Amino acid sequence: MALLFYSQFDDPADWGRHLRDAMPALDFRVWPEVGDPRDIEAALVWKAPEGELRKFPNLKLIINLGAGVDSIVKDPTLPEGIPIVRIADAEMSRMMTQFVLAAVLRHYRDFVPFARAQRERRWHYIHPREAATCSVGVMGLGSLGGMAAAELVRQGFRVAGWARSPKSLEGVESFFGGEGLAPFLARSEILVVMLPLTRETEGILDAKALARLPRGAKLVNVGRGQLVDEDALIAALRSGHVAEATLDVFRTEPLPADSPLWDFDQVLITPHLASVAIPRTAARQVAENLRRVAAGEPLLNVVDPQRGY
Ligand code: NDP
């Protein structure tokens, strides 16, 4: 089987090595060295140029090289009827969990006021609180949010989660759907956003939703920038309603140099890297899906383009 690889962010040599380990007979082709387009039966892609995937008449499977599928499902030129799968793997969830934990601890353990005090050569004692008094809300309880919520429970936080459907995760209070959103936000001192970007979730954290957070709330966004109304967030940071933030994703990436978000010392900006697909472990899952598509068996981690995730 010939697999086309396209990504501006991931190392094709690393992927090629691990994929061949998992599937020695694989014909691995790295864009733009495609060869005969009729040979290509599967594509492992991250943000492929629009129209590119239409060039392969024998394409049977599209594999999104990552967890978030918003850029692929909104591509109007995507060939119809070809299944789309994504990478959802425990190592990727672990990497995200580490990032979320670091961000939550930064807010919970007052690292922001300590950094400020240090710059002013000021000894600033803030008596530490017990984690059980700190309410953390996790928006999105999928393969990433579920593991992060469990880790926050392990750390002793008061954890709630919000998803489309009810969840029973040990130690996590479950909120769901439209009705669950307002009470969920109202109890989230630290809000961690790990939703996919879909028609339903775009702009979900607008001025009204941010106003429902308790005053002085802290925001961690590792989902997608478009989930948050950036102007409303900037206004909330200026008023202090949102006291601090850790932002890994933005409406426009790279974040433009003139964005006011750069100016807040209480905002930590990281360049969209909270978690990435790890070839060593994810290659096995890609190979398994290639085997399944060839055998006509049900695929793993299938994306529903209508639902958008
Ligand atoms: P999943 O598809 O496994 O989980 C998505 C979760 O969001 C589910 O719990 C789902 O609810 C919930 N959800 C979806 N739509 C709604 C809605 N309308 N209302 C309420 N809840 C909703 O995704 P992952 O956990 O794998 O990934 C989440 C996102 O994280 C990705 O889509 C991507 O955008 C982002 N990401 C960011 C990275 C980074 O480096 N910053 C890296 C990787 C991913 P239900 O369970 O009920 O279906």
Q: Please give the positions annotated as active site.
A: 224, 272
Q: Which of 85, 89, 164, 201 to mutate to test the pocket of ligand 1 (most atoms within 8 A of CB)?
A: 164
Give the residue among 297, 274, 307 at the shortest CA–CA distance from 94.
274
Of 2.60.120.280, 3.40.50.720, 3.90.1150.180, 3.40.1390.40, the CATH number of 2-89+277-295 is 3.40.50.720
Q: Of 194, 208, 201, 192, nearest to 241 (Cα)?
A: 208
79 neighbors 94 (Cβ within 8 angstroms): no
Q: Cα of 239 to ligand 1 centre, how many Å?
A: 29
On the question of a common fold for 2-89+277-295 and 91-269, the answer reads yes
Name every residue whose Cβ is closer than 8 Å to that of residue 291 and which is 6 or more positions away in sequence.
23, 297
The minimum-distance atom of ligand 1 relative to the CA of 166 is: 47
* Distance from C-alpha of 123 to C-alpha of 192, rounded to nearest angstrom: 30
Kindly report the number of other CB atoms within 10 A of residue 236's CB atom: 23
Ligand 1 geometric centre to CA of 50 (Å)? 23
Judging by DSSP bridges, how do beta strands 61-64 and 40-45 pair with one another? Answer: parallel
Ligand 1 probe mutation, 87, 92, 97, 144, most atoms within 8 A of CB: 144
Q: What is the mean pLDDT of the chain?
A: 97
DSSP-derived secondary structure letter, 67: S
Which H or E element spans position 4?
Answer: strand 2-6
Per domain, the residue ranges of the chain are 2-89+277-295, 91-269
Residue carrying the six token digits 């990727």: 92
Q: What are the tens digits of pLDDT across the range 55-108?
A: 999 999 999 999 999 999 999 999 999 999 999 999 999 999 999 999 999 999
- The class (CATH top level) of 91-269 is alpha beta
CA dihedral 23, 53, 252, 68 (to 10 degrees): -40
Query: Which tens digit of pLDDT belongs to each residue from 230-273?
Result: 999 999 999 999 999 999 999 999 999 999 999 999 999 999 99
Answer yes or no: are the C-beta atoms of 181 and 205 closer than 8 Å: no
Q: Ligand 1 pocket test: which of 195, 270, 301, 306 has the largest number of ligand atoms within 8 Å of its C-beta?
A: 195
Other CB atoms within 10 A of residue 179 CB: 9
Q: What is the pLDDT of residue 139?
A: 98
User: If pLDDT is split at 50, 70 and 90, which confidence band does 202 have?
Assistant: very high
Residue ranges lining ligand 1, Cβ < 6 Å: 66-68, 88, 140-145, 163-165, 194-198, 200-201, 222-224, 248-249, 272-275, 309
pLDDT at 256: 98
